[in-house]
A = this chain, B = another copy of it.
């Protein structure tokens, strides 16, 4: 297992100190950003460090300070373009702040216990959970260890963690309103997994609007946020219910699947059926789709998530926050006015 032959010893702050003719403590002060060092010595130290290619050891540093510059980022379905974008933006922000990301792709909806443990072992400064949930036990564990946690784009009623997400209820209301206003009468909603907060909130909003207009024609199917699920469910739905005149997809990927299925069946979009998605991923803008969709304010959501996490890390805020952001409708070419 071990291989002493190739184990090269790095230079340490002691080596730098010796070369610069100062104490290790002073070297440490320079690299920890402590200002209490004379310019003369600082310069000598930096030169020596340069010569030796010295870099402080992050593990030793974390050990003594009991804090690390690591952030755990837990995601599901990184293959979903929306979350790829999320990861990219989080990386950009944290990287600029000097933090590093330990990436974990959880297979299950509930982040597994051992994955939590690993993050605890590394003394991560904070954790972001995206598109997944923590078990009560895991949540407690983080709390015990004083590790900040923010849920991104997902929440549960009983969680005590801070959470940032897009107002699903309101978005769905506005989407429904738009569809009603444009003269649609036979609705379908192909959602993500049915038990999640996202799905339920949207359904509530959607239904509320329809109820308000006395519309009861709402077909509901729940997929799993994949193209295939959207495709198959739409195919089934449109075969049985040829009078459906608009379909709301739980995310853009579903909506694209829906769109292809509907077209395969010979319907025209939007002439025969209107389709609307959610997220505003890049592909919605592709020429063959041009999907009307709901834009989640991704950058803003990430920025706020980062800000909240940092506040909690630095102990500025101990109460958990719930930040609900609004999005906006992006109108392209998949919804037609039927008035």
Contact = CB atoms under 8 A, between A and B. Distances in A.
Contacts of A177: none
Nearest to A256: B286
A323 interface: no
A62 B63 CA distance: 10
A115 to B, nearest CB: 8
Question: How often does this chain occur in the complex, in copies?
Answer: 2
B53 A59 contact: no
Contact of A105 (B79, B88, B122, B261): B88
Interface in A152-207: none
Contact of A8 (B1, B91, B146): B146
B282 A263 contact: no
A318 to B, nearest CB: 7
A47 interface: no
Interface stretch (A38-46, A96-104, A237-245, A331-339): A96-104
Which 8 A-B residue pairings sit nearest by Cβ, starting from the closest? Answer: A3-B315, A260-B287, A103-B103, A58-B121, A59-B59, A59-B62, A59-B63, A91-B105
A123 interface: yes
Interface residues of A, number: 67
Contacts of A327: none
A135 interface: no
A55 to B, nearest CB: 5
A73 to B, nearest CB: 8
Interface string A1-23: 11101111110000000000000
Given A59-B59, A63-B63, A117-B55, A6 B263 contact: no
A220 interface: no
A9 B67 CA distance: 11
A78 interface: yes
A5 B55 contact: no
Contacts of A314: 1, 3
A55 B231 contact: no
